[in-house]
């Protein structure tokens, strides 16, 4: 007999953008009061075990299993990672190299694009000159261009040195990262904008994608500076974000990642917007007037990249320890992810979804919250299931079991991954099940639960006696479980 599940009691079974990898499970938390059909795992844990915590070994195994889908998905894919010169200036790049080394070890093809704005400003200041900007772009005169050349050359050497480290006992031990740089970018002058001559400031005209791909296929990391060259031998100072987006598009990259000073894209109340479609991002840009913020420098180029074939763009803070890994290997991430289309879909379950559904329900079966069902039974009944898919990973499911002779249906096995509660996922699943029941001309929908009675009552269900269950279901009722029977008129 199926019932409405609650929370995972373990730190594992995390897939997709989930909670922090390796974070210790706290099974003593109070029940959530959010929208999902969920209560605290602590309530279903025997009193003598409520303070039990997983061993370090169990937590590591759970975390390692949780990132396996990412390892498979990312191997052989190209990531373009862009960061400003401040990341190198304040020493943060040394920590970033550890994350880059791990990604390279997992088979990710990396292209780095560095900026040089603070280094250029320092050099101009030493010459008693001031940098000039127009709408976020540097106006590059002869002096600024000379500073840009010198700053980019020095930065490239410092970055290559950091990526060459391999001290025993350090995260870079055994690293064999070869760095390739070159004249991969053909540029052209921006010219006069709004009556302002930008002189040696340019924009990307072409990326030599074939040459970069050859380096990546040879297991080299490609490092690009914000400089471009014209067929006549001129040098142009380029915007970091233009170089990164153009490169990601040319390479058909899996991801474009901007490391920023701010946390990501925020809403009207200052909340972090973790997922945006291209259309939503365009709407935000049209409504906001904060043209000097990090977001307005990077978000338009992230949108452009997604419009031209890049599957995902990420805007994250460069000040968060291990922020790159947390964004890539967890559900929620730490910044904002932009996608061409919505990353969450509600659809009919297919036979290939069985593994994902089992991962959702098995922890709850082990706790006794759900009645155990085997793979064979699930294969026979998969056509009754809906699944909620987030970025190609299953994060929720629900099933409808009709009793047409009595014009009733059972809402069963409603499961939402704990990292997607309080966001309406359970409500979406329940609403779709109700719609299916109505289309099948059913007049009432019932559920059996030991844990989520209030959640359903708040959504129109009412408690009834066991005698009001359909006859077939009533004969199977388990009086030892003492499940509450709830019914909703359709």
Q: What is the pLDDT of residues 342-378, one digit of tens each?
A: 777 899 999 999 999 998 888 888 887 787 888 889 9
Q: How many Å apart are CA 391 and CA 407, to the nearest integer?
A: 36
CB atoms closer than 10 angstroms to residue 107: 13
- DSSP per position, 187-229: EEE--EETTEE-BTBEEEEEE-HHHHHHHHHTTEEEEE-SEEE
Give the model confidence (pLDDT) of 446-460 as tens digits: 999 888 888 899 899
Does residue 8 or residue 340 have the better pLDDT?
A: 340
> Does CATH place domain 1-73+343-490 in 3.40.630.30?
yes
- As a whole number of angstroms, the distance between CA 452 and CA 474 comes to 20
Q: C-alpha angle 426/44/353, rounded to 5°?
A: 40
Q: What's the pLDDT score for residue 289? A: 58
Residue 152 has pLDDT above 50, yes or no: yes
Quote the tokens at residue 278: 């291209």
pLDDT at 65: 78
pLDDT digits (tens, 9 = 90+) for 278-334: 999 999 888 865 554 788 889 999 999 999 999 999 999 999 989 999 999 987 789
Average pLDDT over residues 473-481: 87
pLDDT confidence of residue 104? 93
Inform me whether the pLDDT recorded for 254 exceeds 70.
yes
Instruction: Give the pLDDT confidence score for residue 3 in this predicted structure.
Output: 34
Model confidence, pTM: 0.71
Cα–Cα distance, 180 to 62 (Å, whole number): 37
Mean residue pLDDT of the chain comes to 84
Any idea where the domains of the chain sit in the sequence?
A: 1-73+343-490, 74-342
User: In this structure, which CATH number among 3.30.1330.40, 3.40.190.10, 3.40.1160.10, 3.40.50.2000 belongs to the domain 74-342?
Assistant: 3.40.1160.10
Q: What is the DSSP letter of 334?
A: S
Structure tokens at 3: 């019932």
Average pLDDT of the residues in 46-68 = 64
Q: Which residues pair with 390 in a beta bridge?
A: 344, 393
**Which whole number is the average pLDDT over 462-476?**
91
């Amino acid at each position: 007999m199926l019932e409405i599940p609650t929370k995972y009691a373990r730190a594992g079974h995390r897939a997709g953008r989930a909670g922090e990898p390796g974070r210790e499970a706290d099974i003593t938390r109070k029940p959530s009061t959010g929208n999902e059909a969920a209560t605290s795992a602590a309530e279903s844990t025997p009193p003598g075990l409520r303070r039990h915590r997983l061993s370090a070994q169990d937590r590591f195994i759970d975390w390692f299993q949780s990132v396996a889908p990412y390892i498979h998905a990312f191997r052989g894919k190209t990531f373009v990672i862009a960061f400003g010169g401040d990341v190198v200036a304040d020493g943060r790049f040394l920590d970033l190299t550890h994350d880059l080394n791990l990604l390279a070890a997992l088979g990710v093809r990396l292209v780095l694009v560095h900026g040089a704005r603070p280094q250029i400003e320092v050099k101009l200041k030493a010459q008693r000159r001031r940098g000039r900007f127009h709408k976020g772009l540097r106006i590059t005169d002869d002096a600024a261009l000379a500073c840009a050349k010198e700053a980019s050359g020095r930065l490239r050497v410092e970055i290559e040195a950091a990526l060459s480290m391999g001290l025993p006992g350090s995260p870079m031990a055994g690293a064999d990262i070869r760095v390739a740089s070159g004249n991969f970018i053909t540029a052209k002058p921006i010219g006069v904008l709004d009556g302002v001559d930008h002189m040696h400031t340019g924009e990307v005209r072409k990326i030599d994608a074939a040459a970069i791909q050859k380096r990546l296929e040879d297991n080299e990391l490609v490092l690009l500076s914000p400089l471009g060259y014209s067929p006549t031998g001129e040098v142009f100072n380029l915007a970091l974000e233009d170089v990164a987006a153009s490169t990601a598009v040319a390479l058909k990259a899996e991801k474009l990642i901007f490391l920023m000073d701010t946390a990501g894209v925020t809403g009207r109340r200052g909340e972090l917007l973790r997922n945006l479609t291209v259309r939503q991002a365009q709407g935000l840009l049209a409504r906001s007037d904060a043209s000097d913020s990090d977001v307005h420098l990077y978000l338009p180029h992230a949108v452009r990249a997604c419009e031209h074939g890049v599957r995902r763009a990420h805007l994250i803070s460069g000040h968060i320890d291990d922020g790159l890994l947390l964004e890539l290997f967890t559900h929620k991430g730490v910044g904002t992810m932009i996608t061409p289309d919505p990353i969450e879909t509600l659809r009919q379950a297919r036979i290939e979804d069985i593994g994902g559904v089992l991962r959702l329900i098995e922890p709850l079966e082990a706790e006794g919250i759900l009645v155990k069902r085997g793979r064979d039974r699930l294969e026979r009944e998969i056509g009754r299931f809906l699944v909620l898919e987030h970025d190609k990973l299953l994060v929720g499911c629900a099933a409808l079991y009709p009793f047409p002779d009595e014009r009733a249906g059972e809402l069963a096995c409603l499961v939402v991954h704990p990292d997607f509660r309080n966001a309406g996922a359970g409500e979406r699943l329940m609403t779709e099940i109700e719609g299916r029941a109505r289309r099948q001309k059913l007049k009432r929908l019932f559920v059996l639960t030991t844990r989520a009675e209030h959640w359903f009552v708040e959504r129109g269900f009412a408690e009834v006696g066991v005698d009001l269950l359909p006859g077939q279901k009533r004969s199977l009722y388990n009086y030892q479980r003492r499940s509450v029977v709830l019914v909703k008129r359709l």
